[in-house]
Structure 1
Amino acid sequence: MLLIFDCDGVLVDSEALACAVDAEVLTRIGLPYSAEDVARKFVGVSFKDMVARLEAEHRCTLPADLGTQIDSALFAKFETSLKPIEGVREAILSLPYPRCVASSSTPERIALSLRITGLADLFDHVFSATQVARGKPAPDLFLHAAAQMDASPGDCIVIEDSAAGVQGALAAGMRVIGFAGGAHCGPDHAEKLRQAGAHTIIERMTDLTSAVQVLK
């Protein structure tokens, strides 16, 4: 049994911070988005895919340094404001299974997030959407993680907070626990994950162990 954790919104409570920064930078370059707009359209999506969608929708070419602009603002915000998801460390340590991270974020952002929140020591294996051709909701990242961890997809449980992540895990043939306890999750978030196909939903990390036991 392999546990595959998304990072943003599952391990670290970063999505609300990231959506606010993305909206601020996009608005500054002439694409007015609110944090709520970004959350609705792009949570769980890789930066590369977000750029492709924006350029197609607005028929424009975004600045080559957009990623640098966003990372600079976001990393500064993380240093002062990023927190782990409540109870996640204890929940992970209570589970005796191999584990890894599979995130749409860049390796640099994942590493920073885990360091700031004190979770880096829990994961020896971290995989980023930058390592595969297609990000979530395609299955590529999850299949890559499973292959690197020498696990068959049917023996994997993915913990995800986004519909795109749930869809990608299902496409990879994996079971999915939807997490709806992050600061960015509204009252309808659990239902969105359920509609995306999550096998079970939790809103507190204290429920992770029991959810894994049910699915394993």
Structure 2
Amino acid sequence: MPVAVVSNNSAGAVTTYLTDHRLADYVSPVVGRAYADPARMKPNPEPILQAVRSLSEPPGRCVLVGDSLSDIEGARAAGVRVIGYANRPPKVRTFRAAGADLASVFRAPS
């Protein structure tokens, strides 16, 4: 299954993280923020659509897993399915209200 990363952080920072954690071989493309145009950051759907085009899949066959409201809103605007990955229970309600197809709370292992 192809995997892309779309981040409001720089593509370089994300690529460094993936490389440091031996994950870079599993991810392509990495789409980061456009320095010259902050208006193109999520929730703008453009970076998500850029990843979708790189994967050569229609938006409806893609899923975004996001941890912020801008992820949920951007995914909805791009026409991709979206899973809200909440770090606090109140975010589940926020993500569902924003249109997440699924929202759940992350619980770190004990």
TM range (shorter): 0.7 to 0.9
The residue that corresponds to 1:112 in the other structure is 16
Alignment of 1:1-216 (within 5 A): 97-130=1-34, 133=37, 134-180=40-86, 185-204=87-106
Larger radius of gyration: 1
Report if aligned partners of 2:6, 2:31 keep a CA contact under 8 Å in 1: yes
Q: Say if 1:101 and 1:123, in contact at 8 Å, map to a contact too.
A: yes
Task: Tell me how far 1:155 sits from its aligned partner.
Answer: 1.4
RMSD: 2.1
Contact kept? 1:166, 1:193, Cα under 8 Å = yes
- For 2:68 and 2:92, how far apart are their aligned partners in 1? 10
| Number of matched pairs | 105
Which letter maps to 2:16?
L
Equivalent AA in structure 1 for residue 22 of structure 2 = G
Instruction: Report runs of 4+ in structure 1 exceeding 6 Å deviation.
Output: none
Distance 1:121 1:175 in 2: 24
- Structure 1 residues without counterparts, runs of 5 or longer: 1-96, 206-216
- % identical aligned pairs: 32
The whole-number CA distance in structure 2 between the counterparts of 1:179 and 1:171 is 18
Q: How far, CA to CA, are the matches of 2:94 and 2:44 in structure 1?
A: 18
* Helix, strand or coil at the partner of 2:92: helix
**2:4 is matched by which residue type in structure 1?**
C
